[in-house]
């Protein structure tokens, strides 16, 4: 491992990996992608939706393959898209079953595997001896070898896609459920592929928490530089939700990394039609490029602010006063520019500071990225909105950003997955109903997830959850456990309300 500086994650430089005819990483622009949420076996619908996503400007479309039959459908989807002139790459999303990955790798340009559920040699086991740990890793290697051979033969690239909500029990036992654990999980799989001399890899670490996403990806870039690796990094925040909240969360989680030069391809996960994700992704990339931080300014800032876990400025720590929004602040004010904010913080070290946002000049995405970066790093003590218009909605946006970056909780929190081919109920409608019904439960976290396969892990931390279980039906969860099963979607919110009333009024 080469010895590198403490801040080598800043302006991380990747090499190019070709996915079909499209280069990811290296000097290529940040690539945009989304995922279909049609049933994969419905080839016509999946082709139609893939075209909408490509037409919106995506460089790649991902499609779930839950079984061999769906993997086989990928050939028809690829063929139909090709015959209509859509040649950009497809990626198959694989969980749980390496045999499906092998089948899909013959049919599309890229596969995504999830190290958290790729192989489970000891089902139900929570603690692992060193020998068991090694045995499972050996088994992963054995099972991965035929997949690598197929990928090599067909020129298929692989995304090693870590998800904070579905880490393996083995990794959690050794590293906890932490950003470090996500990085170690990625490195284990990368090293298996490397030992077979396979390098067409893209790597992602996603979490539904913005801070965990930021810290894990900085750690990942740092680990890559230390090891002399340069794989492209795919960014995203899982379960970002919908509407402005989803956009703020995505802009903060993704844009904060991009302004420091980390990230080669992004997927914005919204609980909306997937083609709607692409314009948001375009805005995030454009804003991040415009707001990029200079490396020397960032470096001086991160000499004082620890970049890999939650840091909180001394002013807030000492006073125990949370950031405020509005004109009440008499703090020194700094315009919404990342290098100005960082330089000011570094020069008047740890002094309180207010950020001034001019919404007529700076978009919500600009605000979410720049102020989001500063708040996520535990700096900044107030937001003042400088506008000739009514500032009410802007202060709402500011409160959402403070909540997203963990600095001030003033609302209920809503987590929802973007849905995919595993979703068999109207998740968008149910999410809207849940948000309307429970908005006033400050600090309580609600989740609406498309399936009970990955949903329970990915909604970790939510007090209440509605998860799709079978067509048009859901299960209702309380503190991570299913308490009502097989509820028709039309009755789901009313049933959840009864549960919330029972538990939140006590």
Contact footprint for ligand SF4 (CB under 6 A): 417-420, 422-423, 449-451, 453-455, 458
Shortest reach from residue 70's CB to ligand SF4, in Å: 13
Please, which residue, 167 or 259, has the CB nearer to ligand SF4? 167
Return phi, psi of residue 252, to 5°: -65, -50
Please, which residue, 232 or 450, has the CB nearer to ligand SF4? 450
Shortest reach from residue 194's CB to ligand SF4, in Å: 28
Shortest reach from residue 362's CB to ligand SF4, in Å: 32
Sheet holding 354-357, edge to edge: 324-325, 382-385, 354-357, 333-335
In Å, how far are 7, 12, 18, 199 from 230, measured between CA atoms? 16, 8, 14, 10
Please, which residue, 263 or 465, has the CB nearer to ligand SF4? 465
- How many Cβ atoms from other residues are within 10 Å of residue 362's Cβ? 21
Among all chains, which residue has been given the structure tokens 């016509």?
A: 44
Structure tokens at 183: 């990085």
3-state SS class at 464: strand
Please, which residue, 49 or 423, has the CB nearer to ligand SF4? 423
Please, which residue, 148 or 459, has the CB nearer to ligand SF4? 459
Shortest reach from residue 103's CB to ligand SF4, in Å: 19
- DSSP states of 351-370 as a string? ---EEEE-TTTS-HHHHHHH
Shortest reach from residue 43's CB to ligand SF4, in Å: 19
- How many Cβ atoms from other residues are within 10 Å of residue 470's Cβ? 12
Task: State the DSSP code for 398.
Answer: H
Structure tokens at 339: 């290098």
Burial of 506 (0-12, 13-18, 19+ CB in 10 A): exposed
Shortest reach from residue 140's CB to ligand SF4, in Å: 21
Please, which residue, 102 or 449, has the CB nearer to ligand SF4? 449
How far apart are the C-alpha atoms of 66 and 87, rounded to whole Å?
A: 23
Shortest reach from residue 368's CB to ligand SF4, in Å: 23
Please, which residue, 119 or 448, has the CB nearer to ligand SF4? 448
Shortest reach from residue 6's CB to ligand SF4, in Å: 35
Helices (H), 107-227: 130-154, 169-175, 179-195, 210-227
Shortest reach from residue 95's CB to ligand SF4, in Å: 7
How far apart are the C-alpha atoms of 429 and 467, rounded to whole Å?
A: 13
Give the angle subtended at the CA of 177 by the CAs of 174 and 179, to the nearest 5°. Answer: 100
Please, which residue, 25 or 418, has the CB nearer to ligand SF4? 418
Give the list of residues 6+ apart from residue 479 with CB closer than 8 angstroms, or none: 463
Please, which residue, 185 or 454, has the CB nearer to ligand SF4? 454
| Number of residue whose CB is nearest ligand SF4 | 450
Task: State the DSSP code for 322.
Answer: P
Residue 382: strand pairing partners: 324, 354
């Amino acid at each position: 491992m080469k010895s590198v500086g403490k801040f080598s994650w800043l302006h991380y430089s990747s090499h190019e990996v070709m996915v079909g005819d499209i280069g990811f990483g290296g000097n290529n622009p940040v690539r945009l992608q989304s995922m279909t949420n049609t049933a994969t076996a419905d080839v016509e619908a999946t082709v139609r939706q893939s075209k909408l996503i490509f037409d919106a400007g995506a460089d790649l479309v991902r499609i779930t393959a839950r079984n061999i039959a769906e993997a086989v459908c990928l050939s028809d989807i690829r063929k139909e898209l090709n015959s209509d002139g859509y040649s950009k790459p497809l990626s198959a999303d694989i969980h749980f079953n390496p045999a499906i990955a092998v089948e899909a790798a013959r049919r599309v340009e890229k596969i995504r595997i999830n190290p958290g559920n790729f192989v489970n040699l000891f089902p139900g086991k929570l603690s692992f001896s060193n020998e068991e740990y090694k045995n499972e890793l050996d088994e992963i290697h054995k099972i991965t070898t035929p997949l690598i051979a197929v990928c090599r033969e067909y020129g298929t690239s692989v995304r090693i896609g870590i998800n904070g909500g579905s880490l393996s029990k083995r990794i959690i036992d050794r590293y906890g459920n932490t950003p470090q654990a996500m990085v170690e999980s990625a490195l284990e799989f990368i090293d298996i592929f490397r030992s077979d001399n396979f390098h067409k890899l893209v790597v992602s670490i996603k979490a539904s928490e913005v801070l965990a996403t930021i810290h894990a990806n900085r750690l990942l870039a740092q680990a890559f530089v230390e090891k002399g690796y340069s794989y492209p990094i795919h960014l995203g925040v899982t379960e970002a939700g919908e509407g402005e909240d989803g956009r703020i969360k995505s802009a903060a989680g993704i844009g904060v990394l991009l302004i420091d030069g980390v990230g080669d391809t992004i997927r914005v996960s919204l609980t909306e039609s997937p083609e709607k994700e692409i314009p948001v992704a375009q805005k995030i990339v454009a804003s991040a490029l415009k707001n990029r931080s200079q490396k020397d300014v960032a470096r001086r800032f991160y000499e004082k602010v620890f970049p890999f876990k939650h840091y909180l400025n001394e002013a807030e720590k000492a006073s125990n006063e949370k950031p405020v929004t509005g004109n009440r602040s008499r703090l020194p004010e700094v315009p919404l520019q990342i290098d100005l904010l960082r330089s000011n913080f570094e020069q008047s070290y740890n002094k309180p500071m207010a950020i001034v946002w001019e919404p007529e000049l700076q978009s919500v995405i600009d605000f979410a990225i720049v102020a989001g970066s500063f708040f996520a790093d535990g700096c900044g003590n107030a937001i003042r909105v400088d506008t000739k218009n009514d500032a009410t909605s802007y202060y709402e946006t500011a409160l959402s950003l403070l909540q997203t970056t963990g600095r001030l909780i003033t609302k209920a929190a809503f987590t929802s997955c973007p849905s995919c081919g595993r979703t068999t109920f109207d998740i968008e409608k149910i999410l809207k109903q849940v948000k309307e019904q429970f908005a006033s439960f400050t600090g309580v976290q609600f989740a609406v997830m498309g399936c009970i396969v990955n949903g329970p892990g990915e909604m970790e931390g939510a007090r209440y959850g509605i998860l799709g279980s079978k067509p048009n039906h859901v299960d209702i969860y309380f503190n991570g456990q299913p308490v009502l099963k097989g509820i028709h979607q039309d009755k789901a919110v009313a049933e959840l309300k009864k549960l919330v009333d029972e538990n939140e009024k006590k």
